[in-house]
Amino acid sequence: MTGDSTRSVHEAEPFDEHTGSLTTPIYETSTFGFARAGDVPVAVAGFGAKGYTYSRWENPTVVTLENKLAAFEHGGDGAAFSSGMAAISTSIFSFLNKGSHTLAIRDLYGGTFGLLNHLLPELGFSTDLVETTDFGALERGVRKNTSMVYIESPTNPTMKLVDIAKAAKLAHSNGAILLVDNTFASPINQNPFDLGADVVLHSATKYLNGHADLIAGAAVASKENTHKIKMMRRELGGTMDPLPAWLVLRGMKTMAIRVRQQNASAMALAEFLSTHRRVAAVHYPGLKSHPQHQLARKQMKGFGGMLSFEVKGTTKDTMKFTESVKVATLAASLGGVETLVSQPYNMTHAQMSAKDREKTGIPETLVRISVGIEDEEDLVGDFRQALAAV
């Protein structure tokens, strides 16, 4: 089983040995009974060592998803969460030590930015957020007590890249670990674990599930690091429920074909927008004009279904565009089958101060696009008519 589509359908999901059910059963239970009292201490102490105990710890449907996630991200094990932010915050808390320092890039998802820029410092943990595309800034940012380096690539919504292999080397040379949010790329387009990352994170709400109908998160790491994350998950309580786990398993069956279509349509839209007179700039790693196109070719298998562009005009013109699309919908979130457009300045990145947004390169005229699986011609046509309305 080597092809991404074959693996999307079959990986980690043998048919149920008890009933022959073709699809993974939903074990919709909070707790598990024991036939013998002697089994209880083993189950409680061990991590699924012998059977299951309580679904905040582990659940068979969720474990099946975790095995599938680990296989797709080439890690030792996976941990599924009730949201992407639960996966991110629990993973970060798993590796924080007293006196430790966390180094991150500035271009982060708004929630992660808030966590690293506000919450952790308020709790007494030092963090630094540095310029994303200046690798020297990351090198200079490492301190003796840096225990974690945190990056996203491509970044949200600016589509900047970070050299993942170099960031892993930098972290490891300081005895730190590298965490990578791989939400934007999806495992079909990029595998940070193969480039040296220690923890790969996802908002499973997005490409993994792919249908914009649930909130979920995932972390993939070595067996040892995943165990650490799962122990913290027990404490913080952000475990995924069995029903969303089953839905993500179902969504993942079409992940490869969805993502391939999204890659192709994103490229077509990027090329169309690049030549349009009402467009000031297009940010897509697949374009030769992208300043890090060579890095994208090196570390990505596909360029993804996310892009952003700047409207040549005012904030009002930009609002006119996002209100005028008909096939696409003005909405936050990404990675689903429906094409979405959003204005990061007052949606996904509204938590950022205007000054931070300016530093990061998020003008009010920036539009982020999450390309769905609609026909390419319909999408290009829709964007053409919406730009004409500006």
Ligand X SMILES: Cc1ncc(COP(=O)(O)O)c(C=O)c1O
Shortest Å distance, C-beta 169 to ligand X: 23
Shortest Å distance, C-beta 205 to ligand X: 4
Q: Which is nearer to ligand X, 156 or 262 (CB)?
A: 156
Shortest Å distance, C-beta 14 to ligand X: 28
Residue type, 253: K
For residues 111 and 93, give the distance between their C-alpha atoms in angstroms, rounded to a whole number: 15
User: Which residue number is nearest to ligand X in terms of Cβ?
Assistant: 84
Let me know if 109 is a catalytic residue.
yes
For residues 221 and 199, give the distance between their C-alpha atoms in angstroms, rounded to a whole number: 5
165 CA to centre of own chain: 18
Let me know if 56 is a catalytic residue.
yes
Active-site pick, 163, 181, 198, 241? 181
Query: Residues interacting with ligand X, by CB under 6 A?
Result: 83-85, 109, 111, 152, 156, 181, 183-184, 203, 205, 215, 217, 333
Q: Are strands 199-203 and 217-221 parallel, antiparallel or unpaired?
A: antiparallel
Shortest Å distance, C-beta 237 to ligand X: 15
For residues 110 and 322, give the distance between their C-alpha atoms in angstroms, rounded to a whole number: 21
3-state DSSP call for residue 92? helix
> Is residue 141 a contact partner of residue 106, using CB atoms and an 8 Å limit?
no
> What's 239's DSSP letter?
B
Q: Which is nearer to ligand X, 183 or 324 (CB)?
A: 183
Active-site pick, 206, 230, 253, 258? 206
Let me know if 297 is a catalytic residue.
no
For residues 88 and 96, give the distance between their C-alpha atoms in angstroms, rounded to a whole number: 13
Q: Which is nearer to ligand X, 87 or 279 (CB)?
A: 87
Q: Which is nearer to ligand X, 90 or 324 (CB)?
A: 90
Residue among 24, 56, 67, 45 at smallest CA distance from 247:
24
Token pair listed for 328: 């696409």
Let me know if 98 is a catalytic residue.
no
Shortest Å distance, C-beta 152 to ligand X: 6
Length of the chain measured in residues: 390
Residue among 217, 191, 190, 215 at smallest CA distance from 203:
217
Active-site pick, 16, 39, 56, 166? 56
Active-site pick, 27, 52, 109, 284? 109
Q: Which is nearer to ligand X, 83 or 261 (CB)?
A: 83
Which residues are annotated as catalytic?
A: 56, 109, 181, 206
